[in-house]
Chains A and B, each alone.
Chain A
């Protein structure tokens, strides 16, 4: 590289290496949508990562100020589009909290059943896409094969495969169709042994372990400081799951369900299933642990769905008629967070009491906070680690940009 000195006739040639700014995204195969990361690199080493978001911004919150509470349900679908049911649930519960609406028992079990199924679907995509980030394609398609069956089930329930708008304020738009429970049980029986294949292909694969163990270590203090939630928080060893620790309105859905929060305690995970052992090179809070927590949560959700099926079948009463589209909202404000697959999804609704349209809606997105820790995790890693770290946060841009 030539450096010009004061005298323009003298050009000094020296070997100087410069840092290079590289744009990873918004069109990049492994940024999970339209995330743009500006990398400052020195060769293969990344010294700084700056995320730029907003490419998918639709200002759903502004739209919400012009629609009634039930009309906004489809917009929540489009936030975390891989877990539409969980988004619906979050908003529905927040509005129900504002309206002080109590749900019949059957509706609550129906909701648990549906959102846990969606959690399985979402984690399957998260797992497959993580394999993709690390350069293996097949687990992605295996995951989609199973997810497809869940989508088929959802299609039977509400007619949609991605943007369900099924769970709504007051309950759900319809009851489960007849025969659905049996199909669902068959699917769960099919899914359980397949999970072991995923463990063989990814979790315990030597290359996978080398690529993820000890990479992107997020300490529990930092995770809390940055507001990380969900598997990212639990992967760092923080024992916090809103299904157990959340607001009463949310946790009462899970009353009586037997489940343990998936988190490493005293060096081991809850041993409900035959899980593969934690490799020696894995450090608590690294990419491997975040991935592992997700894998275990799939098993946990299978369990929960089975329990929900039992309870749903036993429960009597209504499945929860939705409120009228133009139902008036009382004056007040309510904030409620639920445990979505990617973390805590919070909805804040303010009503002026003048009609069915809320004054202000706000969505606190889990991926948004999880992503904000990227610059800290990626400092000093290699370029190949950037997709590994961002992938382990399992972000969905629809939720970040809203």
Chain B
């Protein structure tokens, strides 16, 4: 199935939940609105000719340039992306989904952006989402147990955000 036809089909089913697509990229991706993510994922997994039964990876990418001079050169506005790499073991195909979020919920710094959790679709999303929450600071609503996974529970901040500053001290250990 060509990329264009595939996206047309998704659009027919989900309407405006599919917000865009990029076919020129090395790994072509489909943009999904947060509200429709779980439905889209379930559809991709269950549809007999798609069968994306395997979630490879969830990554959070923060687009933000703290340096104003450099930021002026960028062709994008600050935002956060959650990238889902899916593949299908029976069909031997792969797919990339992207959810584009504001860096902060309601543009209030400190309030994490929210995405519905896909734990119900793929169990492996459990740990991946915890990791994205921990490191990139995205809140997955509906996640059964959204705790930090790699950083200590009392860690402050989300290290993979571009405006993250390493704490000067953590429990008496020098940080910087």
Direct contact of A and B (CB under 8 A): yes
Interface residue ranges, A against B (CB under 8 Å): 53-54, 57, 59, 61-62, 65, 97-98, 100, 222, 224-227, 238, 240, 245, 247, 332-335, 337, 344, 346, 348, 350, 352, 354, 359-360, 362, 364, 368-369, 372, 401-402
B146 within 8 Å of A (CB atoms) = no
Cβ-defined partner of A59 (8 Å) among B61, B83, B128, B135: B135
Q: Could you tell me if A362 and B124 are in contact, using CB atoms closer than 8 angstroms? A: no
Write the B118-150 contact mask toward A (1 if CB under 8 angstroms, else 0): 000011101110010001000000000000111
Decide if B56 touches A337 in the complex (CB within 8 Å): yes
The answer on a CB contact under 8 Å between A372 and B25 is no
Q: Report the interface size class on chain B.
A: 35 or more
- B13 at the A interface (CB under 8 A): no
Give chain A's interface secondary structure class. mixed
Pair B135/A61 contact, Cβ less than 8 Å: yes
Tell me the minimal C-beta distance from B96 to chain A in angstroms: 7
Give residues 140-174 of B contacting A (CB, 8 Å): 148-152, 159-160
Q: Are A359 and B61 in contact (CB under 8 A)?
A: yes
Convert B51-86 into 0s and 1s, putting 1 for each residue whose CB lies closer than 8 angstroms to a CB of A: 001111101011100000010011000000001010
How far apart are A92's CB and chain B's nearest CB, in angstroms? Answer: 16
| Interchain nearest-CB distance for A343 vs B (Å) | 11
| Of the residues B57, B74, B150, contact of A335 by C-beta under 8 Å | B57
Contact B123 A225 (CB under 8 A): yes
Q: Are A346 and B27 in contact (CB under 8 A)?
A: no
* Chain A residues closer than 8 Å to B96, beta-carbon distance: 335
The verdict on A362 contacting B26 (CB below 8 Å), with A54-B150, A335-B85, A348-B83 known, is: no
CB <8 Å contact, B26 and A57: no
B-chain residues with CB within 8 Å of residue A334 when the two chains form the complex: 26-27
Q: Which of A65, A346, A350, A372 contacts B57 (CB 8 A)?
A: A346
B92 in the interface (beta carbon within 8 A): yes
- Total inter-chain residue pairs, C-beta < 8 Å: 91
Query: A348, B26: Cβ atoms under 8 Å?
Result: no
Closest 4 CB pairs of A and B: A227-B124, A364-B57, A54-B150, A57-B150
Q: Does B89 contact A (CB under 8 A)?
A: yes
Interface flags for B92-124 (1: CB within 8 Å of A; 0: not) read 101010000000000000000000000000111
Instruction: Please state if A227 and B56 are interface contacts (CB–CB under 8 Å).
Output: yes
Q: Which residue of A lies closest to B55 (CB)?
A: A227
The verdict on A360 contacting B61 (CB below 8 Å), with A335-B96, A369-B124 known, is: yes
Known contacts being A61-B160, A227-B54, A227-B55, is A240 close to B89, with CB within 8 Å? yes
Q: Do B25 and A332 have beta carbons less than 8 Å apart? A: yes
CB <8 Å contact, B61 and A350: yes
A353 to chain B, nearest CB (A): 10
